[in-house]
Amino acid sequence: MAATSAKNTQRSQTEDTPLIAKSTPLSSQSKSFANVFIAIVGAGVLGLPYAFKRTGWLMSLIMLFSVAGLTHYCMMLLVNTRGKLQSFSGGFSKINSFGDVGFTVCGSVGRFVVDVMIVLSQAGFCIGYLIFIANTLANLFNSPSPDSLASQILALSMSAKSWYMWGCFPFQLGLNSIATLTHLAPLSIFADVVDLAAMGVVIVKDVFIIMENRPEVRAFGGLSVFFYGMGVAVYAFEGIGMVLPIESEMREREKFGRILGLSMGLISVIYGAFGVLGYFAFGNDTQDIITANLGPGLISLLVQLGLCINLFFTFPLMMNPVYEILERRFWGGRYCLWLRWLSVLLVTLVALMVPNFADFMSLVGSSVCCGLGFVLPALFHLLVFKEEMSWRGWSIDVGIVALGLVLAVSGTWYALMEIFAVKV
């Protein structure tokens, strides 16, 4: 009965109707903190020690905390821009998503640009999650013996990566059928605990290795790797598309800024410790994904399984903005189960076809994350507050837009160069 009523209220939606239907925000501060944490922390953390190796530990820390501060600032720009727009009269009383802000400020073009970038970024992250999960499980459990029955079956049918990816598929269909972020909060908390435990184990093991072996490390890697390090840092703080939906479902929205600040501060400290200790433990032997340095053993097994569990439960949370956009454009803003299932299928198929995980994630992070995380929030804020800002405010917004464009263009160029080099 309630579902029928909800559907009836959404049938008349048009493009200027808010993306998320009006509902009472239910998430507590702890649930919102969990959603923010898990929306930001993802597979990018695994590449931080390698990035510290490439760019130097001190240079990496400076870039990491600088990007964290700038990301938090731009997230709050987006929140403040939404608040200002909602104070205007004219029918925009509910603006609960990035796309809603884009439409209110720039019309259909603004919404379309935001929607495309969010779909590409969120789906790209989830593609990376599936690749990591499948490759990790294949390396852990696939028999190395070519004469084994399992290897013969795999040789006659599909690769181990394909088997594990399709094995996750039906469970992801069930998880991605959950309609709201509030209902996903328990999964977020569980994934947070698993993720923190896995990273904690890696950090502890790094400390013991550092006490035994002290490899040579460097503080600065030079300007030639600056854009690489910035690209990794920007990608590590993913989740800009989740900020407004999470705030929209929070019970006490006035406290969201503090929750977001605490989350970003904690994540920055964890990232810094994870990157520094991983690099200090293995030095020049640090692998592109730090779990490859752990070697065989029970600890390595538990850590890699923990990370797989974390990314498995992060998948539906990260896909939620994609569903909101697709349901808005193709199903009148109503919940659509088959559209969600089709999205999971498409993401799985792309993950099966992607040949190089690192290059793909680098390209997505550089080309999309800078635009979403820096350029658009600052641009929208500038357009909305331009008549009441001082020259200092103008300079900050314009500077952020310019910086985001430079990072996006240069990062995309370097990622394409890497892909071209691999192909050659």
Residue 152 has pLDDT above 90, yes or no: no
Give, for 261, the enclosing helix (H) or strand (E): helix 256-282
Residue 147 corresponds to which tokens in the numbers above? Answer: 């004469």
Tell me how far apart the alpha carbons of residues 95 and 24 are, in angstroms, rounded to a whole number: 14
Highest mean pLDDT among 42-46, 169-173, 178-182, 239-243: 169-173
**pLDDT average, residue stretch 399-410:** 90
pLDDT at residue 250, rounded to an integer: 76
Confidence of residue 244 (pLDDT cuts 50, 70, 90): confident
- Which of 81, 120, 73, 123 has its CA nearest to residue 98? 81
pLDDT at residue 13, rounded to an integer: 44
Instruction: Write down all domains in the chain, each with its CATH number in brackets.
Output: 31-140+170-423 (1.20.1740.10)
Instruction: Classify 250 as helix, strand or coil.
Output: strand
Residue 387 corresponds to which tokens in the numbers above? Answer: 């008549």
> Taking all residues of the chain, what is their mean pLDDT, rounded to a whole number?
78
Which are the contacts of 285, defined by CB distance < 8 A and separation ≥ 6?
215, 293
Q: pTM of the prediction?
A: 0.76
Confidence of residue 24 (pLDDT cuts 50, 70, 90): very low
Residue 144 has pLDDT above 80, yes or no: no
Q: What is the pLDDT of residues 285-327, one digit of tens each?
A: 887 777 777 777 777 787 788 888 878 888 887 888 889 888 8
Q: How far is CA 285 from CA 53, 207, 217, 356, in A?
A: 9, 16, 11, 21
Amino acid residing at 284 = N
Tell me how far apart the alpha carbons of residues 409 and 412 are, in angstroms, rounded to a whole number: 5
The angle, 0 to 180 degrees and rounded to 10, between the axes of the packed helices 57-87 and 391-423 is 130
Tell me how far apart the alpha carbons of residues 368 and 50 are, in angstroms, rounded to a whole number: 22
Residue 378 has pLDDT above 90, yes or no: yes
pLDDT at residue 227, rounded to an integer: 78
Residue 277 corresponds to which tokens in the numbers above? Answer: 């200790």
DSSP, residue by residue, 274-294: HHHHHHHHHGGG--SSGGGGS
Residue 198 corresponds to which tokens in the numbers above? Answer: 């896995």
**Do residues 411 and 230 touch, judged by C-beta distance below 8 A?**
yes
Tell me how far apart the alpha carbons of residues 243 and 248 are, in angstroms, rounded to a whole number: 9
Residue 280 has pLDDT above 50, yes or no: yes
Rg of the chain's alpha carbons, rounded to an integer?
22
Confidence of residue 89 (pLDDT cuts 50, 70, 90): low
Residue 358 has pLDDT above 70, yes or no: no
C-alpha 7, offset from chain centre: 30
Residue 415 has pLDDT above 90, yes or no: no
- Which of 36, 378, 22 has its CA nearest to residue 386? 378
Tell me how far apart the alpha carbons of residues 423 and 201 are, in angstroms, rounded to a whole number: 36
Confidence of residue 15 (pLDDT cuts 50, 70, 90): very low
180-184, 237-241, 370-374 — which is least confidently predicted? 180-184
Tell me how far apart the alpha carbons of residues 52 and 41 are, in angstroms, rounded to a whole number: 18
Confidence of residue 188 (pLDDT cuts 50, 70, 90): low
Residue 5 has pLDDT above 80, yes or no: no
- Which of 371, 405, 361 has its CA nearest to residue 50? 361
Tell me how far apart the alpha carbons of residues 56 and 52 are, in angstroms, rounded to a whole number: 5
Residue % of the chain over a pLDDT of 90: 14
Residue 101 has pLDDT above 80, yes or no: yes
Residue 249 corresponds to which tokens in the numbers above? Answer: 């479902």
